[in-house]
Amino acid sequence: MKTHLHIALMQPNIVWENPEANLDLADKMLKKVSPPTELIIFPEAFTTGFTMNQRFLEQLDKVPGLSFFKNKAREMQKVIIVGLFAREDGLLYNRYYWFNPDGSYVYYNKRHLFSAAGEDNLFTAGTDQLIVRYEGFRFNLNLCYDLRFPVWTKNRYDSQTGQYAYDFLIYGANWPEKRKNIYLPLLRARAIENQAYVLWSNRVGRDKHYQLFSGDSRVVNPLGQVEITTKTHQERVEEYRITIEKLHEIRSKMPVGKDWDAFTIL
């Protein structure tokens, strides 16, 4: 069983509606990742920014950046997790991709679409969670606005096997600084209530609507403690070595999973 997990949180200044520029940026940031890193985590809508420009979205390639990140994951022999808009069968999806070191991939379609920005008018909501197994651990992928909905991401405990549904919650985001008083406490809450690590990757800079993003990319442990956070308003590649024994120790000393309510999401 692994004792540590090496991750890199990518905190980019995304270029608005410019996939080519953002893939150049990804290439530069990926070159800064050190060899021990196993998981590289990018934010939501990386190649485009969180644009609701219908004309622009209709002209997009099916999945801008798909082949780039497939090749990079294979070349670097690392897992790359990145948010990309996707067009499929005439429908738009806000997706979070998990690229494996062999170039294969799976993805999660964002469940909760941000109606305040009109995302629900352009995109199709996902219906299924995505929990990926890697190196003996389970990772639950989510995007931005999903953070507000605790029922969707509620962890489960199997009393027969003693297993949790997942060990890590990953959120890719495009969440502006003016609402950081919302996402900062919610990140701690999701970690505590699910007895899981929360990994948060958010962008910096300004978008076309002059919204400011401070990033605040971070690792929150199952006690709700922030183990590492990036410098605000700075484009960063933040690496961190997570001690897995802490996760097991917390769950062993306070096995609240055994007392969780059982329910089904319809």
- Looking at the annotation, which residues are catalytic? 44, 110, 144
Q: Can you read off the two tokens belonging to residue 204?
A: 């910096």
Residue at 79: amino acid letter:
V
For residue 215, give the 3-state DSSP assignment. coil
Closest to 223 (Cα-Cα) out of 188, 185, 171: 188
Other Cβ atoms closer than 10 A to 94? 29
Residue at 105: amino acid letter:
Y
Q: Can you read off the two tokens belonging to residue 207?
A: 């978008």
Residue at 139: amino acid letter:
F
